[in-house]
Structure 1
Amino acid sequence: MRRYRAVASGAVAVSLLATATACGGGSSAGGGGSNESPKTLTYWASNQGPNIEADKKILEPELKKFEEKTGIKVKLEVVPWSDLLTRIMTATTSGQGPDVLNIGNTWSASLQSTGALLPWDEKNFSKIGGKDRFVEAALGSTGAAGSDPAAVPLYSMSYALYYNKKMFADAGIEKPPATWDEMVATGKKLSKDGKWALGAEGGNLSNNIHQVFVLGKQHGADFFDAEGKPDFTSDGAVAAVKQYVDFMAKDKIIAPGNAEYAQNQSLSDFAKDKTAMVLWQAAASTFKSQGMSDDEWGVAPVPVQSGTPGQGKNVNSMVAGINMAVFKNTKNLDGALEFVKFMTSDEEQKLLCKTYGSIPPVKAAQNDPAFDRPELKVLRDTLATSAEALPQVPSESQFETVVGTAVKNLFASAAGGGEVTTESVKAELAKAQQQMPQQ
């Protein structure tokens, strides 16, 4: 999920319910007892572009197109990732949410377990053209195995390593690192004169999870056991978190200030030539919005421990993406299904995914030559050969919060000059595991 999935921060799900602010627009428009006309829908879109205003400019013409086609007006709210999970969790308990919403694909099973989302059974899929229109990998992050999906894939993404060509050339570096040892060696050549090799966002809980999940897979860890119970303190999980934080604490290739960075701040530094590399999902549109031309940056697969990316321990990305869900208590189910059909149509998939720099999860839309450009080829190859979905378990959203916070705390310690040891990492992860729901 981006970010950009990115994806969201906040307290544990139980705390979310107690501390969340009221759902803007939820009680007066759409689901949850709305008195709106059946010709009106409310839609919570996630922030996919460089900022919320950019998303409005992209989406509003498409929503107008839908209204002209169907007579159904869509009231749009673009919700920042920092608020999105909180808002959704509150809506699932209050019954006052939108009709249609975007969710990070990693949250699918967690939100499915609330019972608030419409199940996408064969009948509902048939109303949007059928389940077989979608790429199998994208469908793998739509809910728990063995259950009808809780959402439909909307945008697909994977992680890649973006690098600044000029900074590499100035340092005499000919190619991007393919292994983490190469990353550290390359990074030390680049981290000088007030500039740094690698950007990170220690305050972005979901990004923390995405990075340590991939490193965990490379160390043979899953963070959950075969029964879906948390397993945060395994040797592999501890090694993964320590390796990531050590890029700042030990290797000195991440700036200490990155410990507090929130969503997209690392991309801003990259676009301003302050950092030479960033690990991110489909970042081209954000770079462009910040004045960086396409020929200034390159893209390569995320490094692995050794060898080349692939399945098993050489996984180098989570299956990232955005799903589209419908609240079960919508007063306009037919309109909601019609809207999902529109947003996942071949035409809209091509248009929106081109704009956002993502990959269409709709098979037919991928035939457009625009999705063959070098950056997207790396992302598509990664999704096809070396990406794995985050655990589709009910407590996944809590996992993102508590382990993401543990990584944030360790980054803060490193930034303050504190020593990050195997023992301190394990203690922080043990504390995180204690905050998970009891099985």
Structure 2
Amino acid sequence: MRRTRAAAAAAVTVALLTATACGGGSTDSGGASNTAPGELTYWASNQGPDIAADQATLGPELKKFEQRTGIKVKLEVVPWPDLLNRILAATASGQGPDVLNIGNTWSSSLQATGALLPWDTANFEAIGGKDRFVESAIGSAGAAGKDPAAVPLYSMSYALYYNKKMFREAGIEKPPATWDEMVTTGRKLSKDGKWALGAEGSNPSNNIHQAFVLSRQHGADFFDAAGKPSFDTPANVEAVKQYVDLMAKEKIIAPGNAEYDKNQSLQDFAGGRTAMVLWQSAASSFTAHGMKEGDWGVAPVPVPAGGAPGTGRNTNSMVAGINLAVFKNTDNIDGALKFVKFMTGDEEQKILNKAYGSIPPVRAAQSDPAFAAEDLTVLRDTLATSAAPLPQVPEESQFETTVGTAIKELFADAAAGRPVTTESVKAKLTKAQQQMPN
């Protein structure tokens, strides 16, 4: 019965997302039931600047796995706008890859479909044991009290990236540590056709990440203790309004950012059109767009005035990252477990996380000196001290869609010069809450 309800929920989510994501639903690239003996199909998320870059990064590693095990891996790199739709369609149809990447925020939603292999003690032992992984990363791999639905692969957190040259030219000595300082600094930088802060106003997932942090800083959450949606509480309304007001009221985000949804804010930052951006593990994208190491600085995401990054009200990032999951109905479970063991092995964790500018969720791999660089030190410290996981509830993907879209619509209002008021924000969040499954 639980599986039937979950499958129905997945189908509803596919319908919800079709309007906001590109090309969802196709499973023509093969599924677990179509995999030849001695082969695995792997859907990888687009982690690099483009799909070709991911293929270049992963290709040699997958060949290494084939040479060691005799198992060939058929790779497909799936763009982020398509990924959740593709996964949900696969869970509903039973036709998916053997192994796949999932955003860690989706873990509980996908766990509820019953389509993913649970990582019980035996399965963890097959890849070296659960205690190899950082606790916060495991905490974002499924609902509390249940076996995780996936294994952590890449860990990330948000940071404030700033353009050192633009700061020098504006006479600004240090990045803002509080939101009040963000506004003051932002007004000095937003002039002569350039803007202080980049945003992805049309990207529901990015909107959720920013709103979640501000909600925590306002002492709130988007789900109550019983796991029920509480989107339109006064504190959540205030948090969402604070974020959109960076464009609507403070005028430090360009109105055109209301239409951004595919990393355009990173391109603007690299091109010197914006001075700051809030992003996850962005260094590799900056270099791909022509920046050199040293052109940018990294600082923690701002917190309320009078505080410093920490737990509770001074949370300044979600626990971000990519998890590796296995479809339960794969006809090559032994091969899938070998592949997960390979990808999460100490050696491979160092190689892949260096390539993507992320933090290994495997403890032993973090000792590599490469992960002590300035950028990664900020990310690692944030994950260790001031990040919190998004709600690990079955309805998380619907939450991203409904509330993320509400914020997208509020950014559109701000860009068009329409008022963004407490009442209009509350109305959008109330509507989002009404769209959630009962």
TM-score (norm. length: structure 2) = 0.95
Which letter does structure 2 place at the counterpart of 1:69? R
The reply on whether 1:23 has 2:10 as its aligned counterpart is no
Query: Do the aligned partners of 1:43 and 1:76 also contact (CA within 8 Å) in 2?
Result: yes
Residue number in structure 1 paired with 2:319: 319
Which letter does structure 2 place at the counterpart of 1:384? A
CA gap of 1:187–1:84, structure 2 versus 1, over 3 A, is same
The reply on whether 1:188 has 2:183 as its aligned counterpart is no
Question: Which structure 2 segments of 5+ residues have no match?
Answer: 1-9
Residue number in structure 1 paired with 2:303: 304
Query: Do the aligned partners of 1:346 and 1:364 also contact (CA within 8 Å) in 2?
Result: yes
Query: Do the aligned partners of 2:117 and 2:328 also contact (CA within 8 Å) in 1?
Result: yes
- SS of 1:45's partner is strand
Shift of 1:24: 3.6
CA gap of 1:353–1:21, structure 2 versus 1, over 3 A, is closer
The aligned runs of 1:403-422 (5 Å cut-off) are: 403-422=403-422
- SS of 1:162's partner is strand
Alignment size in residue pairs:
425
Q: Distance in 1 between matches of 2:14 and 2:63?
A: 38
Query: Do the aligned partners of 2:266 and 2:277 also contact (CA within 8 Å) in 1?
Result: yes
Q: Structure 1, residues 46-92: CA drift from partner, whole Å, max 9, x if none?
A: 01011111101100110111111111110000001101000000000
Which letter does structure 1 place at the counterpart of 2:320? A
Residue number in structure 1 paired with 2:5: none
Which letter does structure 2 place at the counterpart of 1:245? V
The reply on whether 1:349 has 2:349 as its aligned counterpart is yes
Q: Distance in 2 between matches of 1:410 and 1:159?
A: 22
Q: Distance in 2 between matches of 1:16 and 1:47?
A: 22
Q: Distance in 1 between matches of 2:219 and 2:428?
A: 20
CA gap of 1:42–1:16, structure 2 versus 1, over 3 A, is farther
Which letter does structure 1 place at the counterpart of 2:248? A
Question: Which structure 1 segments of 5+ residues have no match?
Answer: 1-9
Q: Percent identity?
A: 74
- SS of 2:100's partner is strand
Shift of 1:221: 1.0
The reply on whether 1:119 has 2:118 as its aligned counterpart is yes
The reply on whether 1:245 has 2:248 as its aligned counterpart is no
Q: Distance in 1 between matches of 2:402 and 2:121?
A: 35
Residue number in structure 1 paired with 2:4: none
Residue number in structure 1 paired with 2:269: 270
Q: Distance in 1 between matches of 2:271 and 2:31?
A: 42
Residue number in structure 1 paired with 2:44: 45
Q: Structure 1, residues 415-437: CA drift from partner, whole Å, max 9, x if none?
A: 00011000000000000001000
Q: Distance in 2 between matches of 1:12 and 1:209?
A: 20
Moved over 2 A (4+): 16-26
Residue number in structure 1 paired with 2:100: 101
TM-score (norm. length: structure 1) = 0.95
Query: Do the aligned partners of 2:48 and 2:356 also contact (CA within 8 Å) in 1?
Result: yes
Shift of 1:235: 1.1
- SS of 2:148's partner is coil
CA gap of 1:390–1:286, structure 2 versus 1, over 3 A, is same
- SS of 1:412's partner is helix
Between 13-22 and 63-72, the greater mean CA deviation after superposition: 13-22
Q: Distance in 2 between matches of 1:56 and 1:235?
A: 46
Q: Distance in 2 between matches of 1:370 and 1:143?
A: 29
Residue number in structure 2 paired with 1:7: none
Query: Do the aligned partners of 1:156 and 1:320 also contact (CA within 8 Å) in 2?
Result: yes
Shift of 1:263: 2.3
Shift of 1:11: 11
Which letter does structure 1 place at the counterpart of 2:367? N
Q: Distance in 1 between matches of 2:353 and 2:28?
A: 27
User: RMSD value over aligned CA atoms?
Assistant: 1.4
Query: Do the aligned partners of 2:11 and 2:92 also contact (CA within 8 Å) in 1?
Result: no
Residue number in structure 2 paired with 1:6: none
